[in-house]
Amino acid sequence: MNDLTNNFGKLYHPVKALIIYEKWESDYNNTPYVESYDMDERGCPINGHPLSVKEANSFAKALTVNEKKQRNFLNPKGLLTPNIVFLKTGNDGFAIWRTPAKRVKMLFTESLDIKSGEAHVPALLWKAGKTSLAVFAVLDEAITGQTPLFHAPFFNVYAEGKVCMGNVPVQIPNDCCLETFIELWHDYFFNSYFSHLFGAHVPVKGNIVQLWQNLTTSGEPFPVETLIPNNITINKLLQ
């Protein structure tokens, strides 16, 4: 038996239902009337009554708190560090950041016959929103508008850079600060198992399986000469 608990999302239970009625007057001006219902243990509406001022104020407060959380999404806790390339805050915000070439822990499925363990990866450029992630390889230098982008040399990444998260339960809070946001995406990406390529897309020159078999056992730096340029520009990532 497999434990699927971590794959479950949050469960929401109905506690209140509102029905809005409209009374049409002779001059075609509609007059609204709101009726409130409690919910029983089966999720059925009971105890219908006119919406009270206290209930209305409670709903308004909840909406205000939720709106405030959405406005705070991706706000940094401190000064922006040089690795932040672009930042758009708010509910539909996203961030683009860079990480240098470094040694990280990598996980591979048994079918690939690659030993899981630490290996060097190239400098990377990340773009992420609340529910999606894209990753690209870059040369280990500062990012400018003319910086060439390369295909990320990993499994589970589409040709356009989007990452397939599979069954990973991505849960980014509505009020997540920038620093925590970046940490979460790094954890989601490197703590999930690399397993497969997509279609005819080959992200590196040569055999990608042999590449990572060597890197996870030799401890050698990532060979940047195996990276393949793509046609994606920094400006396109800003859209």
Q: What is the 3-state secondary structure (H, E, C) of the chain?
A: CCCCHHHCCCCCCCCEEEEEEEEECCCCCEEEEEEEEEECCCCCEEEEEECCHHHHHHHHHHHHHHHHHHHCCCCCCCCCCCCEEEEECCCCCEEEEEECCEEEEEEECHHHCCCCEEEEECCEEEEECCCCEEEEECCCCCCCCCCCCEECCCCCECCCCEECCCCCCCCCCCCCCHHHHHHHHHHHHHCCEECCCCCCCCCECCCHHHHHHHHHHHCCCCCHHHECECCCCHHHHCC
pLDDT of residue 2: 47
Distance in angstroms between the alpha carbons of the first and the last residue of the chain: 44
Residue 60 main-chain phi, psi, to 5 deg:
-60, -40
d(CA 24, CA 37): 23
Is residue 170 within 8 Å of 181, Cβ to Cβ?
no
Are the CB atoms for 160 and 144 separated by under 8 Å?
no
CB hemisphere CA count around 45 (13 angstroms): 9
**pTM value?**
0.73
Q: Does residue 66 register a pLDDT over 60?
A: no
Q: What is the mean pLDDT of residues 165-192?
A: 94
Token pair in block for residue 132: 């999606």
Statement: residue 23 has pLDDT above 80: no
More confident residue, 161 or 52: 161
> Rounded to an integer, what distance in angstroms lies between the CA atom of residue 171 and that of residue 186?
13
Nearest to 52 by CA among 73, 36, 38: 36
78-82, 111-115, 144-148: which has the highest mean pLDDT? Answer: 111-115
pLDDT (0 to 100) of residue 40: 86
CA-closest candidate to residue 57, choices 41, 36, 30: 36
More confident residue, 9 or 46: 46
Decide which of 26 and 151 is more confident: 151
Query: pLDDT by residue (tens digit) across 128-141?
Result: 999 999 999 999 88
CA-CA distance, 120 to 118, in Å (whole number)? 7
User: Would the pLDDT of 86 be above 60?
Assistant: yes
Q: For the chain, what are the domain ranges?
A: 11-71, 84-237
Query: Across residues 3-18, what is the average pLDDT?
Result: 64
Mean pLDDT for the chain overall: 87
